[in-house]
A and B are shown apart, each in its own frame.
Chain A
């Protein structure tokens, strides 16, 4: 198990980190990925690759975490609205963030605004440059369906990215 862990730790971390952009959170998720994988090793079907199986677990855990984070954020905002009516919650302004952190930060700001299923596809296909076949295996979908979903994800992503790029002067 240690060998498997050492072999796949960094590739799993890369995907998770692209999604969270936080080292501690990414390491927590990586730990959960391997705990889940090793505890369910007997359910692993060898028709898919071990790395593919791990990536599927990682994406599911990232989605769970993102939902938890969003729920917590909503609760905090609701609480702040309730208790501190005079004080506006300090949700970061995406445009300001992009200006401060320049080009690649605009990219991640837009990426984080996407729904999970779109974000995952942009990470896997456009950032990690995985082939459609592998993505199809990870997501349990056909190659054709994945191609279509990637196109939709890009369309959604560009719509989010456009105002951010304009704000930092990368688009006229």
Chain B
């Protein structure tokens, strides 16, 4: 792999959207790098499309978390397993 091909690959992997002139000149004559560049641009487009997709709102209410916390706290108390038996007796 040529030095400029490696440089371009590193440049693209670092997330750059624009190329310096030297790499742009190299790109014009290198089919392998052109393919990498097209893939990189498509990746950026896909990324923007995914970013623009709205995230739904989290509807999980605090009361549910609070109830779970309370239930877990009870189950961790010493001899918690004995309580139902004692209550029954």
Overall SS of chain B's interface? helix
On A, residues with C-beta under 8 Å from B are 1-2, 5-6, 9-10, 12-14, 17-18, 23, 26-27, 30-31, 34-35, 38-39, 103-104, 106-108, 125-127, 147, 150-151, 154-155, 157-158, 161-162, 165, 170-172
Name B14's closest neighbour in chain A (CB-CB): A151
Determine whether B74 belongs to the interface, using a CB cutoff of 8 Å to chain A: no
Q: How far is the CA of A162 from the CA of B60 in the complex (A)?
A: 37
B58 CB contact (under 8 Å) in A26, A147, A172: A26
Q: List 30 contacting pairs A-B, 8 Å CB cutoff, sorted by A.
A: A2-B62, A2-B66, A5-B65, A9-B60, A10-B57, A12-B58, A13-B55, A13-B57, A14-B55, A23-B56, A26-B58, A27-B60, A34-B65, A35-B68, A35-B72, A106-B46, A107-B49, A107-B50, A108-B50, A126-B47, A127-B47, A127-B51, A151-B13, A154-B13, A154-B15, A158-B40, A161-B39, A161-B46, A162-B39, A165-B46
> Is the pair A126, B42 in contact by a Cβ cutoff of 8 Å?
no
Q: How far is the CA of A170 from the CA of B38 in the complex (A)?
A: 10
What is the distance, in angstroms, from A75's C-beta to the closest C-beta of chain B? 28
Known: A14-B55, A38-B69. A104 touches B13 (CB 8 A): no
* Residues from chain A with Cβ under 8 Å of B17 in the complex: none
Determine whether B53 belongs to the interface, using a CB cutoff of 8 Å to chain A: yes
Among A18, A106, A107, A151, the one with the most B-chain Cβ atoms within 10 Å of its Cβ is A107
What is the distance, in angstroms, from A158's C-beta to the closest C-beta of chain B? 6
Name A6's closest neighbour in chain B (CB-CB): B62
Determine whether B45 belongs to the interface, using a CB cutoff of 8 Å to chain A: yes
Given A13-B57, A104-B53, 5 other A-B residues pairs in contact with their CB atoms under 8 A? A5-B65, A13-B55, A17-B55, A27-B59, A165-B39
Determine whether B81 belongs to the interface, using a CB cutoff of 8 Å to chain A: no
Contact residues of B between 59 and 79, Cβ < 8 Å to A? 59-60, 62, 64-66, 68-69, 72
* Residues from chain A with Cβ under 8 Å of B58 in the complex: 9-10, 12-13, 26-27, 30
What is the distance, in angstroms, from A133's C-beta to the closest C-beta of chain B? 16
* Residues from chain B with Cβ under 8 Å of A154 in the complex: 13, 15, 43
